[in-house]
Structures are given as structure tokens and as C-alpha cells.
A = this chain, B = another copy of it.
Amino acid sequence: MGLIANAAARSLSIEVPTWVDEVVAAFRAPLDSDRACLSLAVELARENVERGGGPFGAAVFAGDRLLSAGVNLVLSSRFSIAHAEIVALMRGQAALGESALNPPALSLFTSAEPCCQCFGSLIWAGVTRLVCGATTADVEEVGFDEGPKPEGWVKVLEARGIQVSQGVERAASRAVLVDYVARGGQIYGKLSASE
């Protein structure tokens, strides 16, 4: 039997480009409100589109400290898991070290409501607050598939002690999605989900 030749990859690595933290460093507004923190996620999404990535960005806070930032890296990494939320959460866990398995209260700001994968992942990562920009309907309107989340997914998260805010800086978040599609950006979710 045996594995096929190159299947023995033992180091599964998602490389985050240096410009992500440069965008964070250059961000002018103080991160002292939900709108400001969500705007950072949108700025990351916007820059990712400029760099050929998907139109999604995210940031993780531990209390009111910015812990990590991420963008969608599915196309560059070829890992379907590399959504902006996952990249930001993994970076946050790397920063937390030992305490990642029993983390402080984490807030996840995401430029668009989580898909069915990130919905589940954020629960295990210890997120206690989720703040979203574009809605699931906005994301699906431009052609992306958010996948099957539980009916009433917001209430499902809230029942687990995760506070959810929706539609923060929605217009700006949605504009990045619309711009991506207008530029002919690849709707990569569809490749694996329905083709």
C-alpha cells in the first residue's frame, strides 16, 4: 500500500506575509471601540485583495490588547482552512504559548461573519466575544458560500457564553467583498464545495 510519494509532509506551515503587521502598525485610529477594531479587520481584508488574496481580515484581542491579526491565505497556502479568522486565532495562540490551551477572554473581530468552519473553530479557541462586519447574506450575495451553520447560530454561540455583535462597519466590510468580485477575484470556496 504505502503513502503516495510526497504525502509525508510533516511540517504543516501557514506563512503570514510581513505586510499584515505593517498594516496593523500603520493603522491610524486608536483601537478603543468596536468600530475601530472592526475597521482594522476591514483594512486587512482590503489590503489582502490588493495583494491577490481573499477579501477577508480578522483581529484577535486579549481583553483590550491587540493579540494578533490575520487575513485569508487560502490561495497562497493552498490550505482550505486558512481563513482570516483561523490565521488570526492561530497567531494569537502562538503568542499565548502555554496558556493557549486555557486562554484569557479573547475577542475576535472579523470583516465578515464566520463560515461553518470558523463558527466551530472559534468556540474551541476560547473566543468569548465575536464582532462581525459583513453579514452572511452579504458574503453569499457576492458568490461565496458560508456553508451550513446551525439554525440560529448567533443564539447558539450566545448560549455558550460567546457574545456576538453583527453588522459593525458593515458597509465598509461589504464594499471590500463587492470590489473583490468586481475585479474578477476567484470564488475559491466554490471550487471545493460544489465542483
Contacts and interface: CB of A to CB of B under 8 A. Distances in A.
Interface of A: 1-4, 6-18, 21, 24-25, 27, 30-31, 62, 65-69, 74-75, 78-81, 86-87, 89-98, 100-103, 115-121, 123-126, 147-151, 153, 156, 160-161, 188-189, 191-195
Copies of this chain, complex-wide, total 2
B4 A95 contact: yes
B121 A117 contact: yes
B12 A94 contact: yes
Given A102-B195, A124-B189, A193-B123, A15 B10 contact: yes
Given A4-B66, A67-B4, A195-B102, A12 B13 contact: yes
Contact of A101 (B86, B103, B117, B188): B188
B7 A16 contact: no
Nearest to A65: B4
A119 B89 CA distance: 18
Contact of A147 (B75, B91, B98, B123): B123
Contacts of A123: 116-117, 147-148, 192-193
A120 B100 contact: no
A188 to B, nearest CB: 6
Contact of A91 (B12, B92, B195): B12
B124 A92 contact: no
Nearest to A146: B120
A13 B89 CA distance: 13
Nearest to A8: B21
B95 A6 contact: yes
Contact of A117 (B97, B120, B150): B120
